[in-house]
């Protein structure tokens, strides 16, 4: 019975998709029912995995694992999805993607992410990635009357399937050189395989495919257009849960390599990606006038900071990445939630002009957005500061001090465009009137994320200790 008990999050979400489909077919007021039902199963699955964080177990001929940091990832995916559902309840009718399928696709993408986080086999990673990506392509273009959403969906689909091709080719090369797709077996053989050109090419192609999913620099082209074109809630989900899922899969493969005591031979690749993503994201974000595009470039920069943790290649780096992902999920969801609340009908009120003098018109929303921006910029005492702190410490510990310095410089650059929003909201005056549609659920989701950002920022020790205890 213990076996099924630990699998409950997976079973819940899978069954939830089927039950939601039946609701969508037969229930009269299906949208509200499915929305609340999906919030319920997301919270149930998320808190189940958080409570059972100590129960590590392997399933299905050691193809899937739960327990430890995998459960923390599962909690993050589910909690982020629950917040997105809360935000979308009123936003969807405003934007025009108020379909029951929205919540069903959200559930199936979360199922894919959970498979990616728990995978112990390259094919399970691929399966989860495909479930997640196909749901994402559909989510981006769910309202087919909007041209921008169509463009975003098609662009994401074409480039995303190209990246998936890289991953499959990489898996094929890895299988060709090791005769196995099981990650623990590959890690066992890793030491003797580092001089095998076929194997290293396979791992690099695998990494390139995932760099695309993480939105790191040379593979970032889709990010601004997709975030701008798709609904704000969906863009918030892409940038938080989607990025977290891609990093969880890479941590599973590369992380077990670190734990096996090999030196980090992927350091040159990861360092180049980290430096270019950080600087490119931070500098180009300055030139943006659309807040969704600005957040998209900031997401590229954050992919760069997370890459520092991978490049440093030690336990602290992995723990720092997981901590940073938790902090980033909540602060970015909070920011996207406020943007979704302020956005008017037909994608209006997205430029910085709309935020002028927001502190007078909507003081509470302005305060929430300001906290999220301070946290994204990495100013203490919010969660974003400690995320960067742990990652830079990890870089210094593995003699990559210069990389940490570049990271700090890039953070300083990014303060300009994050705090510009705050300055516009608090110190500029305008005559233009802003009508904001009231949404209690959206506000609730924003408040929950901001509270979590503050709690993680005030007490980072307990979370980082929990994460580190599973890595030792």
Partner 1 sequence: MLTQYIPIFIVLSIAIIFAVVTVSASKIFGPQRPNKEKLSTYESGMKPVGTTRERMSIKYYLVAMLFIIFDIEVVFVYPWAVNFKSMYAEQGISVFFSMLVFLIVLELGYLYVYKKGGFKWD
Closest distance between partner 1 and the C-beta of residue 70, in Å? 24
With respect to partner 1, which residue has the nearer C-beta, 104 or 295? 104
Do residues 83 and 46 lie in contact, with contact meaning Cβ atoms separated by under 8 Å?
A: no
With respect to partner 1, which residue has the nearer C-beta, 25 or 197? 25
Burial of residue 151 (number of CB atoms within 10 Å: 0-12, 13-18, 19+): middle
With respect to partner 1, which residue has the nearer C-beta, 108 or 359? 108
Tell me the per-residue interface mask from 26 to 65 with partner 1, x by CB under 8 A, - otherwise: x---------------------------------------
Closest distance between partner 1 and the C-beta of residue 16, in Å? 13
Do residues 252 and 119 lie in contact, with contact meaning Cβ atoms separated by under 8 Å?
A: yes
Q: Angle at the Cα of 243 (from 242 to 244), degrees rounded to 5?
A: 90
Q: By rule CB under 8 A, what count of residues binds partner 1?
A: 6
Closest distance between partner 1 and the C-beta of residue 24, in Å? 7
Closest distance between partner 1 and the C-beta of residue 226, in Å? 23
Q: How many CB atoms lie within 10 A of CB 290?
A: 15
The binder of partner 1 chosen from 7, 21, 127, 434 (CB under 8 A): 21
| Residue 97: strand, helix, or coil | coil
What tokens were used for 261?
A: 């005591």
The binder of partner 1 chosen from 5, 11, 22, 364 (CB under 8 A): 22
Kindly calculate the radius of gyration of the chain based on its CA atoms and give it in whole angstroms: 21
Closest distance between partner 1 and the C-beta of residue 7, in Å? 14
Closest distance between partner 1 and the C-beta of residue 101, in Å? 9
Listed ranges 15-23, 39-47, 187-195, 412-420: which one lies at the site for partner 1 (CB under 8 A): 15-23
CA distance 317 to 72: 16
Listed ranges 19-27, 90-98, 336-344, 359-367: which one lies at the site for partner 1 (CB under 8 A): 19-27
- The percent of the chain in helix, strand and coil, each rounded to the nearest 5, is 80, 0, 15
Q: Alpha helix (H) ranges present in 179-218?
A: 183-193, 197-214
Closest distance between partner 1 and the C-beta of residue 77, in Å? 22
Closest distance between partner 1 and the C-beta of residue 14, in Å? 9
Listed ranges 21-29, 111-119, 167-175, 390-398: which one lies at the site for partner 1 (CB under 8 A): 21-29
Do residues 446 and 368 lie in contact, with contact meaning Cβ atoms separated by under 8 Å?
A: yes
> Which 358-387 positions form the footprint of partner 1 (CB under 8 A)?
none
Check the CA dihedral 346-352-355-356 and report its sign. Answer: negative
What tokens were used for 133?
A: 């990506």
Tell me the per-residue interface mask from 108 to 137 with partner 1, x by CB under 8 A, - otherwise: ------------------------------
Listed ranges 14-22, 82-90, 114-122, 426-434: which one lies at the site for partner 1 (CB under 8 A): 14-22
Q: Alpha helix (H) ranges present in 346-439?
A: 358-361, 363-377, 383-397, 401-427
**Residue 24 touches partner 1, criterion: CB under 8 A:** yes
Burial of residue 397 (number of CB atoms within 10 Å: 0-12, 13-18, 19+): middle
Closest distance between partner 1 and the C-beta of residue 127, in Å? 14
Site residues (vs partner 1, CB under 8 A): 18, 21-22, 24-26
């Amino acid at each position: 019975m213990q076996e099924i008990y630990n699998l409950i999050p997976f079973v819940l979400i899978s069954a939830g998709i089927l039950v939601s489909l039946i609701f969508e077919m037969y229930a009269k007021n299906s949208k509200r029912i499915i929305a609340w039902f999906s919030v319920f199963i997301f919270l149930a699955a998320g808190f189940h995995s958080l409570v059972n964080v100590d129960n590590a177990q392997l399933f299905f001929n050691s193809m899937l694992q739960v327990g430890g940091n995998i459960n923390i990832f599962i909690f993050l995916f589910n909690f982020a999805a629950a917040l997105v559902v809360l935000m979308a309840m009123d936003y969807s009718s405003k934007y025009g993607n108020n379909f029951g399928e929205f919540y069903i696709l959200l559930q199936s993408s979360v199922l894919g992410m959970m498979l990616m986080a728990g995978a112990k086999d390259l094919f399970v990673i691929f399966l989860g990635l495909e479930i997640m990506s196909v749901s994402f392509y559909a989510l981006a273009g769910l309202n087919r009357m909007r041209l921008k959403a169509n463009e975003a969906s098609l662009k994401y689909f074409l480039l995303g399937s190209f990246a998936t091709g890289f991953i499959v080719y990489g898996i094929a090369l890895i299988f060709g050189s090791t005769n196995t797709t099981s990650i623990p077996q590959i890690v066992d053989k890793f030491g003797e395989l580092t001089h095998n050109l076929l194997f290293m090419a396979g791992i690099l192609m695998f990494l390139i495919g995932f760099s695309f999913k993480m939105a790191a620099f040379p593979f970032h082209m889709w990010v601004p257009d997709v975030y701008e074109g798709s609904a704000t809630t969906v863009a918030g989900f892409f940038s938080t849960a989607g990025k977290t899922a891609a990093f969880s899969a890479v941590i599973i493969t590369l992380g077990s390599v670190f734990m096996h005591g090999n030196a980090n031979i992927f350091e040159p690749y990861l360092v180049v990606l980290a430096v270019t993503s950080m600087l490119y994201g931070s500098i180009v974000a300055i030139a943006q006038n659309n807040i969704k595009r600005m957040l998209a470039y900031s997401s590229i920069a954050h992919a760069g900071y997370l890459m520092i943790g991978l490049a440093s290649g030690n336990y602290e780096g992995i723990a720092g990445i997981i901590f940073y992902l938790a902090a980033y999920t909540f602060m970015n969801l909070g920011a996207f939630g406020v943007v979704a609340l302020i956005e008017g009908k037909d994608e209006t009120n997205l430029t910085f002009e709309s935020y002028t003098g927001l502190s007078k018109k909507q003081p509470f929303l302005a305060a929430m957005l300001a906290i999220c921006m301070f946290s994204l910029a990495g100013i203490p005492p919010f969660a974003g500061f400690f995320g960067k702190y742990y990652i830079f410490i990890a870089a210094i510990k593995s003699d990559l001090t210069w990389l940490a310095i570049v990271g700090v410089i890039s953070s300083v650059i990014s303060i300009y465009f994050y705090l510009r929003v705050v300055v516009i909201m608090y110190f500029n005056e305008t005559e233009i009137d802003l009508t904001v549609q009231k949404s209690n659920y959206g506000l609730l989701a924003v408040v929950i994320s901001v509270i979590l950002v503050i709690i993680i920022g005030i007490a980072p020790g307990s979370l980082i200790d929990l994460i580190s205890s599973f890595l030792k």
